[in-house]
Amino acid sequence: MRLIGAEKSDKGLKNRLRFETPLMALNVATKTTAFNAKGRQSAKPAKPSPMSSSRKSKAQEKPFYEAPESRPTSAQIIEETRTWLREVKTKRPFTPRDGERSLFASRQVSADFSEIGAGVAAPVGRPPSAVSLGGRQFESESRPVSGSAVATRLSPIRAGSAGSGSGSGAEASGGLPPKPPSAERRRPRGSASEQQRSSQQPHRSSAGSRVQRNGSVGELPAEDSAAGDPGRRRDSAPQPPAMSEDAETEWFNKTLAPAVDLLSVAEQTPESADNTLELVRHLHSELQAAGMLGRNCRRHRSRILRAVFRLLDWPQPRLQLALAGLCLDMRVSAGNLACVAKLLFRVAKLEANDALFLAQPGLLAGISDTLAGADPAASHEALVYLAGALKFLTGGAAGVSRELLRSGCFEALTTCLGRAVEWNRQTGGRAAESLAHVLVQVLGSLRNLAEQPGTRQQFVATPACLAGVCAAMQQYPADYELQLNASRLLSKLSQHADVCAALCSNDDGGGGVGSSGQSALLPSAARELLARHRSREDLVLRLAFVLGNLAGRAEEARTAMFPDKPALDSVLAVLKFYQQESEAAAAAAASGEASQPAPRRDPGKVRDCLVKLVRLLANAAISAEVGRMCAGSRTCLRLLVTFVESKSIADNRELVSNSVAAINNLTYYMSTELASDMPERMLRVAQALSLLIQRADTDLLVEAIRPFGNLSREKAVRDWIVTSRIDEVLITLLDSSHEAVYSAAGILLNLVADPDKRQVLKKDGGVEKLISALTDLGQSDWQLACVICQALWNFTEGMTSCADSFGSEQTAQELISCLELFTDEEAVEESNRLAAGSDEDTFQHLQDVWESDFAYIGTHLLKRLRRHQSQFEPL
């Protein structure tokens, strides 16, 4: 049998070792423990290998407990492995389905836009969900004068007038300043160059490609290709050459005039809806075949559209969708586009009509392309209802959502989002009220699409989309419904690491939402929104969940959320607010008096807010900078201790568990450097946790014991552990689960560092249980074996006889036999290879952990025991 390091003396060995509990992270989709890369525990770090040449060199001799500087230690690796062995599910905030399909929330939510831009008056209300198209006539389309100043504000859409708030000139703009005219728009209408472009360029994107107007937009997977799908448009096909005016008139009189005449009188015979539908489809196909869709039909365009618009009032949804599809293909604008958008919105309000959108060829692609191509400044009213229709459709049957994705809906929403926030940025917020209505619908549609399988990759591949969401949240901090839709979207997406990385990056995708990297500002902006809307539990719940996800994934997110103490205090104020609401609800329930007023808030939502807020603090405290700030805050510690002491485990298990995890992370940084009264604070925390130990089940008991690994660094806490008999609980846990043994052994390691507490291990067979745990579990977890040997090293300090220290020579001999086996290089190699099977990486990992963590301390402990072993063989 060959022993490793037996020739070395233990002069470089510190007599007393110390154990610290590693940090815990309540991570994105699960509550797990995770370890901080910046601050490892000082008593169970990896030691330099006893077999390395550097260990044999006196010039480079270091105490065994110092970690190597050149590479991550195997202790760090196994700590990460230990992290995933203890997963507990946590829930994402539930978002109920919108059953009534309304444009905005039924409860009118006021918003103060005065902070967005100067000169913006408070809103007079959202556009209504109930719209009427009675007596609608086609309006002659004309462009407003370039550069004209418009000072009127968007009026609310009146249910009895479909043309309200739309039209040309000042009425169409609704209070939005006109965009500077481009060189193309300054050309005279009807010029030869414009006519040539209109005839040669298709007005709609290719069926097999994605819209790429603003920002980088990724391709759909191959299986999502629309090739061979008759429902998609084929506008990329070669178009016939533009007709001269005489040729157009001849073609119209011969081909379309009879159909248009029949449409003009069809409104007088509404019973012939089926015939009228076929007539509309025939008209549509003839226009497409002749290349006369869009603006190509110049002389007879108004006549065709007037006949079509007279039929929009008919109550047959199938006919209405056919008429709307034709109008979109004719590229109507201004008030006419608003009228068509309202028609689509009204049909989409009924879930039973969803299948009709699929049955109308090319309609979904037409809606998407119109949404992407419309100017948010001039067509905001139409965009509100187009995006509202998409919100209904994306929240309906899965088949409709899949077809919308194939039709470019995601790209269209991204483009509309980017244009709206960029326009608002350029104008300094003068368009805040009108564009906010659009963005509420766009964000609601994106949130529905995020539920579809595979769409997360599209969000990640499109930085402009995430950047636009973040920019909208920053531009409209007072709009509750906009913030709620955005937080619902992010709470779904931020469960994934790649999305969290994108939200914390500086890449805005070049999508026109500013060059400062809007997504990188999300952590601090969301924290400010949390404080601003603290009384809105639905929003607080989701914002805290998103921030907790980011804090569990990225160090830069943690420091961005809490750059200073005022930032921390703002979140603690929200936490205290819900703690008071929870206490008020509990007091009302305890009184049992019928005269007591009903709680102002749903107790379940209040509890969920507390859970997510505490989880946020726990994850943020992984950062050394934030952790020290939290550990030094009396308010933070007091609130967490209150939850542990006052909340019943049966009703608040997740809240109590999260609070313990947060306390564990804070105790990691507790020291007198932060506050002179830190020993008193640590003792106060220990006393609170002891109450939990007395009433907790096994799983939660292990979580409550773990912070004592940090607290027991303080002598006052060690003294209290013994006087309160917590040490007896630790001895009992040595017969429990693997993780319980690890935590208990680490705390006992600290206790027996005090000479007056070494007798603790002799209670209830503590020494025998440690040796038994080492024998049974050591070869499967060399880090646990290291902690047990460290505890026994402290226990045997100053020993004169093995029999005196261990109570019997036989017990000491059992430990010696175990250590001889565990320090035998050949036996360990065989054991590790058997445990790893055919996986060479696992075998090498086990070898590294044994060499760096266990071999050195095990060898020195074995040498000490042999020196004090009796010369007589036990009988």
Residue 42 lies in a domain: yes
Selected residue with higher pLDDT from 618 and 396: 618
Per-residue pLDDT tens for 85-110?
Answer: 232 335 566 555 555 667 666 444 44
Mean pLDDT, the chain, whole residue set? 75
- Please answer whether residues 561 and 527 qualify as being in contact, where contact means their C-beta atoms are separated by less than 8 angstroms: yes
Residue 170 lies in a domain: no
Confidence band, pLDDT 50/70/90 cuts, at residue 235: very low
Selected residue with higher pLDDT from 457 and 205: 457
The two structure tokens encoding residue 427: 């104008």
| Closest C-alpha among 345, 325, 328 to residue 336 | 328
Neighbours of 682 (CB within 10 A): 25
> Please, where are the H alpha helices in 562-697?
565-591, 603-620, 624-631, 634-646, 649-669, 678-695
pLDDT at 114 (0 to 100): 36
Per-residue pLDDT tens for 386-415?
Answer: 999 999 999 887 788 899 999 999 999 999
Confidence band, pLDDT 50/70/90 cuts, at residue 598: low
The two structure tokens encoding residue 532: 């601003």
Per-residue pLDDT tens for 725-754?
Answer: 999 999 999 998 888 999 999 999 999 999
Question: CA 737, CA 327: separation in Å to the nearest integer?
Answer: 70
pLDDT at residue 198 is higher than 50: no
pLDDT at 548 (0 to 100): 94
Torsion over CA: 349, 355, 359, 365 (sign): positive
Distances (CA, A) of 743 to 34, 44, 154, 731, 733: 15, 12, 65, 11, 9
| Type of residue at 793 | W
Question: CA 411, CA 407: separation in Å to the nearest integer?
Answer: 9
pLDDT at 771 (0 to 100): 95
Main-chain phi, psi angles of 32, to 5 degrees: -135, 175
Q: Which domain holds residue 838?
A: 1-89+722-875
User: Given phi > 0 = left and psi -120 to 50 = alpha, else beta, which region is 429?
Assistant: left
In terms of average pLDDT, the best of 61-75, 257-271, 553-567 is 553-567
Question: CA 476, CA 432: separation in Å to the nearest integer?
Answer: 8
Q: Which residues of 63-92 are buried (b: 16+ CB within 10 A; e: fewer)?
A: ebbebbeeeebbbbbbbeebbeebeeebeb
Mean pLDDT, residues 228-257? 62
Selected residue with higher pLDDT from 446 and 51: 446
Question: CA 632, CA 674: separation in Å to the nearest integer?
Answer: 6
Question: CA 325, CA 331: separation in Å to the nearest integer?
Answer: 10
Partners of 25 in the beta sheet?
32
Residue 860 lies in a domain: yes
- pTM exceeding the 0.85 threshold for the entire prediction: no
Residue 361 lies in a domain: no
pLDDT at 253 (0 to 100): 79
Residue 522 lies in a domain: no
pLDDT at 129 (0 to 100): 56
pLDDT at residue 116 is higher than 50: no
Question: CA 627, CA 618: separation in Å to the nearest integer?
Answer: 9
Question: CA 807, CA 767: separation in Å to the nearest integer?
Answer: 9
Which residues 6+ apart lie within 8 Å of 107 measured at CB?
none
* Least confident piece of the model among 60-64, 299-303, 417-421, 555-559: 60-64
Neighbours of 775 (CB within 10 A): 17
Question: CA 705, CA 730: separation in Å to the nearest integer?
Answer: 8
Which residues 6+ apart lie within 8 Å of 845 measured at CB?
74, 77, 78, 836
Instruction: Burial-class residue 568 by CB neighbours within 10 Å (0-12, 13-18, 19+).
Output: buried
pLDDT at 140 (0 to 100): 62
pLDDT at 310 (0 to 100): 86
pLDDT at residue 177 is higher than 50: no
Instruction: Burial-class residue 727 by CB neighbours within 10 Å (0-12, 13-18, 19+).
Output: buried
Contacts by 582-590 with C-beta closer than 8 Å and gap 24+? 582/606, 582/607, 582/610
Q: How many residues does the chain have?
A: 875
Count of domains forming the chain = 1
The two structure tokens encoding residue 653: 């298990």
Residue 793 lies in a domain: yes
pLDDT at residue 183 is higher than 70: no
| Closest C-alpha among 121, 112, 111 to residue 430 | 121
Main-chain phi, psi angles of 30, to 5 degrees: -140, 160
pLDDT at residue 546 is higher than 80: yes
Measure CA of the first residue to CA of the last residue in the chain; give whole Å: 25
The two structure tokens encoding residue 445: 């549609």
| Residue 90 exposure: Cα atoms within 13 Å on the Cβ side | 27
Main-chain phi, psi angles of 250, to 5 degrees: -65, -45
pLDDT at 633 (0 to 100): 94
Question: Cα dihedral angle (674, 680, 681, 683), rounded to 10 degrees?
Answer: 130
- Please answer whether residues 66 and 48 qualify as being in contact, where contact means their C-beta atoms are separated by less than 8 angstroms: yes
Which residues 6+ apart lie within 8 Å of 147 measured at CB?
178, 180, 181
Selected residue with higher pLDDT from 517 and 478: 478
Residue 6 lies in a domain: yes
Neighbours of 811 (CB within 10 A): 18
pLDDT at 200 (0 to 100): 39
Residue indicated by tokens 């550097």? 54
Mean pLDDT, residues 702-706? 91
Residue 73 lies in a domain: yes
In terms of average pLDDT, the best of 118-122, 151-155, 157-161, 511-515 is 511-515
pLDDT at 527 (0 to 100): 92
Measured N-to-C along each axis, helices 522-532 and 537-553 cross at an angle, to the nearest 10 degrees, of 150
Question: CA 575, CA 614: separation in Å to the nearest integer?
Answer: 8
Mean pLDDT, residues 233-245? 56
